[in-house]
Copies of this chain bind each other. A is one copy, B any other.
Amino acid sequence: MSMRNVLLTIAYDGTNFSGWQRQPDRRTVQGEIERVLSQLCGQTITVNGTSRTDAGVHALDQHASFCADFGIPVERIPLAANHLLLAGCHRPGTVSDVQILQAREVGAEFHARFSSRGKRYLYRIRNAAQPDLFLRNACYQIEPPLDEAAMNKAAGHIVGTHDFRCFMAAGSQVGEDTVRTVYELCVERSGDWLTLSIAGDGFLYNMVRIITGTLIEVGLGRREPGSVACAIEGKQRALSGHTAPPQGLYLAKVFYDEAELAAFRE
């Protein structure tokens, strides 16, 4: 046996978690994952997650890596871990609110966060008079009709490489490099549902939720699409819109170099 570096793909419903990051006396995704991996590996395991999602935020494709010398075959980790994650739930035919979808061995130099080349987030909005009772913690409920054409017009000002300081939560670290590249940003409607999709090389704290809140204000006609260009230019948080609530946000994809991922040891 020897040290192995393992990359996990993880999905979760963030509703009942105090976010990703481990905290004493709080139920967090990292805390749950580390608890069951430590059981499986017979030693204390610490994982590095790609994105430290906030309380209430979901993930369809979170990644986390850990390095350890352990006995269980890597491919058996998802089933065994999901079984331990479900323990304590006594209803058959249901699953835990966090699921390990895949585990694979990667090269020693691979790191779930530092090796990432970018991410895609989705933000789901229910745009109807009647809320969806069963998805109420998985979307932002907005009754007045949203004009998605206007929202997409505003989105056009955001795509590209900019100083995105105006979309960073007030009180964030001063002196941080606030230049990022947004590769793609679009809003699509399917009946009563709007999905905002944004891909970029990195995101400032609360950036996706502030962009979403700003585009929603455009969609409601409370703000001109062009005002988004002015906000970016002005570099002031006060020039952008409200922070959309966490429950509509999903970490949807983490981008890695194919070459780096292909450097498996097996």
Contacts and interface: CB of A to CB of B under 8 A. Distances in A.
Of the listed residues A56, A93, A95, A244, the one surrounded by the most CB atoms of chain B closer than 10 A to its CB is A93
Contact of A93 (B11, B133, B140): B140
A137 interface: yes
A133 B11 contact: yes
A133 B99 contact: yes
Nearest to A95: B131
A199 interface: no
A248 B95 contact: no
Interface residues of A, number: 28
A211 to B, nearest CB: 16
Of the listed residues A134, A137, A244, the one surrounded by the most CB atoms of chain B closer than 10 A to its CB is A134
A135 interface: yes
Contacts of A58: 134
B12 A56 contact: no
A136 B95 contact: yes
B11 A245 contact: no
A34 interface: no
Given A56-B91, A94-B137, A95-B141, 5 more contacts: A13-B133, A91-B247, A94-B140, A94-B141, A94-B245
Interface of A: 11-13, 56, 58, 91-95, 97, 99, 131, 133-142, 244-248
Q: Report the 10 A-B pairs with minimum CB-CB distance, sorted nearest first.
A: A93-B140, A95-B131, A134-B138, A93-B245, A93-B141, A94-B136, A95-B136, A91-B245, A13-B133, A92-B245
28 contacts: A11-B133, A12-B133, A13-B133, A13-B134, A56-B91, A91-B245, A91-B246, A91-B247, A92-B245, A93-B139, A93-B140, A93-B141, A93-B142, A94-B131, A94-B137, A94-B140, A94-B141, A94-B245, A94-B247, A95-B131, A95-B136, A95-B141, A97-B133, A97-B136, A99-B131, A99-B133, A134-B135, A135-B135
